[in-house]
Amino acid sequence: MSDPHAGNGTPRIGVYVCHCGTNIAGTIDVVAAAEQAAEIPGVVLSRDYKYMCSDPGQELIKDDIEEHRLDRVIVASCSPCLHEETFRNAVAAGGMNPYLFQMVNIREHDSWVHRDPEAATSKAMHLIRAAVRRVRLHTPLEARRVPINPAVMVVGGGIAGIHAALTLANAGKQVYLVEREPSIGGHMAMFDKTFPTLDCAACILTPKMTQVRAHPNIKVWTMSEVTEVDGYVGSYEVTVRHEPRFIIEDACVGCLECIDACVYRSGKTPDEFNLGLSKRKPIYIPFPQAVPQVVVIDPDACIEFRTGKCKKTCVEVCADRNAIDFQQTESFDTVEVGAIIVATGFKTFDPIRTPQYGYGRYSNVYTALEVERLVNASGPTEGHVVMRDGSTPKSIGVIHCVGSRDRNTNRYCSRVCCMYSLKLSHLLQEKTDAEIYEFYIDMRTPGKDFEEFYNRVEEEGVHLIRGKVAQVRPEPNGDGRLILQAEDTLAGMVREIPVDMVVLATGLEPQADAEDVRRTFNITCAGGGFFMERHPKLAPVSTFTDGVFLAGACQGPKDIPDTVAQAGAAAAEALALVDAGFIELEPNTAYVSAEDCSGCKTCSDLCPFHAISFVDAKAVINEVLCKGCGTCVAACPSGAIHQNLFEDDEIFAEIVGVLADA
C-alpha cells in the first residue's frame, strides 16, 4: 500500500480530541485543547468530537483525509489498548498508511487520574504536542503476513484433549494427539460414575475414544511426549519422543492372550491404573477399553529384560502376528503445526503431606481416586467395597479439603471435591449401606443440577458435619477402627466418631512436571502452579504465546462439563487462527543495521522470544518471532538495533514535545 502523502515536505497533520462523553470532557477542556492544537506547526486540521470511536467519528477521519489531504493523523482519546486498531483501520479506510497514525491517551493517563481541570488540560496539551512532533517522523510500514500450517497438535489425551481433537478433526484439520500414558482417556477413564447425573464415566468416554481412534484426521501417539517446540505461531516445529512399548502397534490386535500366557502366574507389580490396589504382570493393558487396544511391556518387571532368559510364552502365543519386539527403541517424530493445544491435565494431592489424616499409616485410609477404583466394576475389587484388610466398612468418614484451602499446602479450592465427595458418599452407601459422615468446611455445589444433587444426598441420610477434621487416630483396642475428631461447628460441640474407612477428598494440583512443560511451550504458570491463561475473564483458553492454547484442568481445577466446554473453546480459537490462512504481524519489530553490528551477542540471550540468531557473525532478528519488546534495542552497545515505530528520533521528538510549552 503506497502512500502518496508520505514524506512530501511539510506534513499535513489532523488532530482529533475526543470528549468520550464526560469521561474526558468532564475534566479536560477539549474544545480549548482542539483550538490550541490547531496552532501547532504542521497541524492543518483540529477538531473535538463527542465519541471518536463511533461510526460517525471514524467516518470523520476518513472523509477528512480525503478532503484535506491529510498525511498524518492524531487522535487524543482513550488507551491504545482499546482503540488504536479502530483508528488505524479508519485511517487505512481513508487511503493512508495506518502507521502514520499516533494515539494520545488523555483519559487513563489524564482525565481519569487528575481532578484539577486546568492542570489536566495543560497536561493534555503537552501530550498532544509530543504526538505532533513524533508523528511527523513516522514512516509508512507494512504489516507482514505469514502463512499458517493448518495442522494442530493436541498435547494430552484426557477428555479435554479428546474433545479438542475431535472438534478440530471434524473441521477437516489434521490433528496430532500426543499422550504420555499407554492409552488415552486420562483421569476420567478411572472414574466410576460422574456427578451430577451419575453417568458411568467409561460409558460416555469410550465412544469418544473410539471416535478418536477411527478418525482419519487424527494421528494418536501414546507413550509419547513433546520434547522440543521450535518455530512460531503458524509454523511450529514440534519434536515428539515415543517411549518404546516393545509391541509393534500395527501388528497387535488386542487379543490379550499374551497376558494370560505370561510366565508370571499372577501380577507382582503394583497396577498404576488401579493406584497400587492390585497387581499386574510385566505385560499388560492399562484397562480393557484402552485406545490404542495394544498391550505394553514394562522392562523393569519383565524377565526377558532383566535376565535375557525368558521362555517368552508371550511371543509363542502371538504366533504369526509377531507383534512383540524386545528390541524396540525410542523413536522421534518432528511435525509442523500451526497451533498447539496444551491439555495435560492434573495430578491429585498426595496426602502423605497431611500426616494428621494417617494416609499410608493406617491401611483403611483411602484417597478419593482410590475409592473410585474400588467402586468401579472393572476395578481391583470388581466394584465391591472391600478394604485392604478384606473387610467391608459399616461406617465411613469422608474428609473434604485435604490439601486444599490450606496455606500449609495449597491455598486454592479444588472446586470438584465437594461434588465428588457427595457422589462417593452416595455410591458407597448404595453398595454397603454403611453409615456415612462427611466433614466439610463449606459445601460448594454451584453447577447445573448440583444443588439438587446435594439435596438428594442429604435426603439419603448421609451425615453432613460442618467442621474440618483435626486428627485421624486408631482405636486403642485394636479393632482397626479409626476415630475422627472434629468440631461440629453447627452443633457447637467437638465430636469423636469411630469409622471403619476414611476417604480423603484430595485436591487437584498441576502435574509434577508443569514447570518443565511450560518452558517447552513458552507459557507461564501462575495461581497455584497451573498454566496461565491470557486473561482470566475474557481470554481463558489462549496464552501469551500466540498459537498456544489451554484446555482442561492444566489451566485450573475444573469438572468434566467445564473441561469439555473449555476444550471446545480452545479448538474453536485454534481453528479461527489456522483457518485464516495467514497471520498479520504488527510491524513494531526490531531490526539490525548490519554495518553497525559488531557481533558481540549481547542481544540474543536477552530476547525473551528467542528471535535473534547470528548469520555471518551479524545479528539477525526473526520478524515473525519478534514482539517488539525493545529489550535488544536498549541493550545493544553499538546502537545497531532499531525498532520500527519506536525509532530514537521519534522518541526524542516526543520528549521534546512533552517539555515544550507551545
Partner 1 sequence: MAKEPKIRTEADRDREFAAWFTDLVGEEKLRRCIHCGVCSGSCPLADHMDEGPRRIMYLAREGFKDDVLSSNTIWLCTSCYACTVECPQQIPVTDVMYALKRRALEEGTYPRRHPTAVMAREFSTIVRRDGRMNEVRLFARLALKSGVLRYLGMAGMGMNVVRKRRFSLRRDTIRHRAELRKLLDTVEEHRAEVAS
Partner 2 sequence: MSDYSYYPGCSLKGTGRPYDESMQAVFAALGLGLDELDDWNCCGATAYMAIDEVQAVALAGRNLALAAATGNDVVAPCNACWLVLTKTQGKLGDDVALRDIVCGALGATCTAVNGDGPQPLRIDRDVAVRHPLDVLINDLGVDALGEAVTRPLDGLKVTPYYGCQIVRPLATFDDQADPQTMDRLLAAVGCEVVDNPYKTRCCGASQMMIMPDVGIDLVSLLIADAVARGAEAIAVACPLCQFNLEGYQRKALKEAGLEQSIPILYFTQLLGLALGLDPKRLGLHRSFVPVDSILGRRAAHV
Q: Which residues bind partner 2 (CB under 8 A)?
A: 355-356, 471, 473-474, 476-477
Q: Which is nearer to partner 1, 322 or 356 (CB)?
A: 356
Q: What is the DSSP letter of 430?
A: H
Taking residues 603 to 632 in sequence order and writing x for each that binds partner 1 by CB under 8 A, - otherwise, the string is ------------------------------
Least Å distance, CB 458 to partner 1, is 19
Least Å distance, CB 353 to partner 2, is 10
The answer to whether the CB of 324 falls within 8 A of the CB of 297 is: yes
Number of residues that bind partner 1 (CB under 8 A): 21
- Omega into 292 within 30° of 0, i.e. cis? yes
Least Å distance, CB 470 to partner 2, is 11
Q: Give Rg (Cα) of the chain.
A: 32
Range 350-379, binding partner 1 (CB under 8 A): 356
Helix (H) or strand (E) holding 590: strand 590-592
Nearest Cα neighbor of 75 from 135, 5, 11, 122 is 135
* Identified binder of partner 1 from the candidate list 468, 473, 618, 642, rule CB under 8 A: 468
Q: Which is nearer to partner 2, 115 or 407 (CB)?
A: 407
Window contacting partner 1 (CB under 8 A); options: 3-11, 132-140, 484-492, 584-592: 484-492
The interface partner of residue 485, options being partner 2, partner 1, none and the CB cut-off 5 to 8 Å by kind, is partner 1
Q: Is 504 in the site for partner 1 (CB under 8 A)?
A: no
Q: Which is nearer to partner 2, 359 or 530 (CB)?
A: 359
The answer to whether the CB of 160 falls within 8 A of the CB of 568 is: no
Calpha distance 542→538 (Å, rounded): 10
Q: Supply 520's cell numbers.
A: 517447552
Taking residues 396 to 435 in sequence order and writing x for each that binds partner 1 by CB under 8 A, - otherwise, the string is -----x---xxxx---------------------------
* Identified binder of partner 1 from the candidate list 227, 391, 489, 524, rule CB under 8 A: 489
Q: Which is nearer to partner 1, 358 or 380 (CB)?
A: 358
Q: Supply 224's cell numbers.
A: 509419547
The interface partner of residue 476, options being partner 2, partner 1, none and the CB cut-off 5 to 8 Å by kind, is partner 2
Q: Is 499 in the site for partner 1 (CB under 8 A)?
A: no
Place of cell 492434573: 346
Q: Which is nearer to partner 2, 352 or 659 (CB)?
A: 352
Least Å distance, CB 482 to partner 2, is 10
The answer to whether the CB of 593 falls within 8 A of the CB of 640 is: yes
Taking residues 100 to 139 in sequence order and writing x for each that binds partner 1 by CB under 8 A, - otherwise, the string is ----------------------------------------
Calpha distance 241→601 (Å, rounded): 32
Least Å distance, CB 629 to partner 2, is 39
Q: Is 483 in the site for partner 1 (CB under 8 A)?
A: no
The interface partner of residue 406, options being partner 2, partner 1, none and the CB cut-off 5 to 8 Å by kind, is partner 1
Q: What is the DSSP letter of 533?
A: P
* Identified binder of partner 1 from the candidate list 310, 441, 606, 635, rule CB under 8 A: 441
Query: What is the DSSP secondary-structure string of 208-274?
Result: HHHHHHH-TTEEEE-SEEEEEEEEETTEEEEEEEE---SB-TTT-----HHHHHSS-SS--EEPTTT
Helix (H) or strand (E) holding 293: none
Calpha distance 431→85 (Å, rounded): 61
Angle between the 417-432 and 368-375 helix axes, to the nearest 10 degrees? 40
* Distance from the Cα of residue 414 to its chain's centroid: 17
The answer to whether the CB of 645 falls within 8 A of the CB of 141 is: yes
Least Å distance, CB 636 to partner 2, is 44
Q: Which is nearer to partner 2, 363 or 471 (CB)?
A: 471
Calpha distance 316→523 (Å, rounded): 48
Q: Supply 612's cell numbers.
A: 535473534
The binding site for partner 1 (CB under 8 A) comprises: 356, 401, 405-408, 441-442, 466-471, 485-489, 492, 494
